[in-house]
Amino acid sequence: MPFTPHRHTTGLTRREVLQVGYSGLLGIGLTGLLAKQSRAASKTPGQAGKAKSVVIVFLTGGPSHIDTFDVKPDAPSEIRGEFRPIATKIPGVPFCEHLPRFAARADKLAVVRSLSHPENNHLLATHHVLTGAAIPGGKFDQVASRNDWPNYAAGLDTLRPRNDGVPTGVNLPTYLVEGPLTWPGQHAGFLGPRHDPWQVRQDPNLPNFHVDALGLAAGLGVERLSQRRGLLEQLDREADAAAKTFSAGPYADLQARAFTMLTTGKVAEAFEIQREPDRTRERYGRHLFGQSLLLARRLVQAGVPVVQANMGHVQNWDSHSDIFSRLKNDLLPPLDQGVAALLDDLEALGLLDETLVMVVGEFGRTPKLGTQGKSKGIGRDHWARAFTGVFAGAGVRGGQVIGKTDKIGAFPTTPPFTPDDVGATVYHALGVDADSDIPDQFGRPVRLNRGRPIEALYTA
C-alpha cells in the first residue's frame, strides 16, 4: 500500500510539523507554512494545469515594444517612429503595420503591455525572463554558470521527472553564446546537467537538417544499438577505476536518457521535418523563424512540455541602429508569418487549448530614437522598465490588452508584472505549484518561484 502522510487538523503533514520545529531556528515558522498553503488554496479553480506544453517564442536581443505591440501613433515623431498603426481584431487596439497576421488573430491573443524589471543588461535580463528569477548575485554581463537559477524546463523536470523517452525541454535552433559570453537561463543551473533541456543547434530550414544527437548513426539499427550499449556498459565496468576521477552519476543518467530517446523514436520522428508537406512548410515560411516554429509544433505533438524557439541568433533584435530597416525587412515579417502558422496549426489540431504560446524578449527599447552605433543609424537602446509579452492558448482569454504604458511607452501606468510573474504563469499553466521547494546546489530547499500568476490572462 502506498504511504500516506498523516495530516493534522491544521492541514499539515507530520513532516511539515517537524519542519516547523526546525525552521523556527531559521526564522521561518508556522506562519510561513500556513501562508504557503493559503496561497495554494486560493488559486482560482480551472486555471492551473490547463497546458500540457508551453512554447516560448523568444525574441533574443529585446524587441521594441513601441514598434510592435504598443504603438504610440499620437506621440512625437522621435517617439512613434516610422511605422504606421493598423487595426486589429481588438477594437481600438492597433499593432505595427508589419504585423498583419498578428492583427488578424488578435482575438486569440492577450497582450501584456506592462512587463517591467530593472535589468538593462542582455545576460541578466535573459536569465530573469527565462527562469522567472533574478540571477543570484548578478553582475553586468554575468555568464552562465551552475549557480544560475533553473529555467522552466529544468524546474518542471525536477518536480515532474519522466522516463518515457520524451525530454521535458528542447531549446532550438541556436544556443545563445557570443565570444566569451554564454547567456544564462538556458539550462538547469544549480539543479545540475541531468535536468538540462536538450539543445538543437542546427537551422531547421537547411535542406540537410538533422539532429545528430537524436538520430542513429548510418547503418546502425535499434538491435545493433542495443548490442553496442551492452559493449559500452562492459567498457564502463572495466573503466570503473578511471571513472572515479569524475562525477559520473549525472552523465550516466544522461546517457541512459539519450539511449531511451533514440530507441523509442517518438521524439526523433518529430525532428524529421522533411515529412511535412511543402505547402505546410511554405505557410510557416522557408526561413529560420518559420521552420523553427514548425519544428516546435512537431515537438509539442510528440509530447515535449517546454519548447523554446529562439527567433534568431544572439541579439538579433538588439536594434541600436537601423532599427526600421531591420524590423521591416528581416525580423517582423518572418515572425508574423511563423507565429500565425503556429497558432493556426495548433488550433486545427486541437492543441491550442492545451498549449501556452508566449512571445517575449528580455526587455523593450527606449522610447526616444537616437543616432547610435558605428553606422550612425537611427535606433533605440535597451529599456527594461516597460516591455510587452503576447500570450495565447491554454485557457488564455484572447482579444484583450492587459496593462498599459504612458504616452511615450516609458513606464507602466498600471501595476507592472515582473519576469517572476511570467515564471509563475508558466508553472501555473503547467499545473506546477510555483511555491514548491527545489534543492539548491547544497541540497537545501529553496522556493522555485516568488512571482504570482498573471490572473488577468484568464479572467474577463
Query: Strands, E, within 377-450: which ranges?
Result: 377-379, 382-383, 387-392, 400-402, 437-439, 445-447
CA distance 56 to 311: 10
> Which amino acid type is present at position 283?
R
Which residues make Cβ contacts (< 8 Å) with residue 265, sequence separation at least 6? none
Q: Please give the pLDDT value at position 264.
A: 58
Closest C-alpha among 124, 129, 85, 87 to residue 107: 87
Q: Please give the pLDDT value at position 237.
A: 56
DSSP secondary structure, 3-57, as one string: ----B-TTS-BHHHHHHHHHHGGGT-HHHHHHHHHHHHHTSPTTTTT--SEEEEE
Q: Along the chain (460 residues), what's the average pLDDT of each consecutive run of 10 residues?
A: 38 39 37 43 55 98 98 97 98 98 98 98 98 94 96 98 91 94 96 94 92 58 55 54 44 61 74 96 98 98 97 93 96 98 98 98 97 75 98 98 98 98 98 96 96 93
CB atoms within 10 A of CB 266: 16
- Judged on CB neighbours under 10 Å (0-12, 13-18, 19+), 336 is buried
CA distance 366 to 375: 19
Q: Please give the pLDDT value at position 301.
A: 97
Which residues make Cβ contacts (< 8 Å) with residue 348, sequence separation at least 6? none
Chain centre to alpha carbon of residue 446: 21
CB atoms within 10 A of CB 235: 9
CA distance 130 to 122: 12
Q: Please give the pLDDT value at position 214.
A: 57
> Running DSSP on this structure, what letter comes out for residue 417?
B
Q: Please list the alpha-helical segments (H only) found in 219-271.
A: 222-238, 240-243, 248-264, 266-270
Closest C-alpha among 102, 138, 98, 100 to residue 118: 138
Domains of the chain as residue ranges with CATH: 49-207+271-457 (3.40.720.10), 212-264 (no CATH)
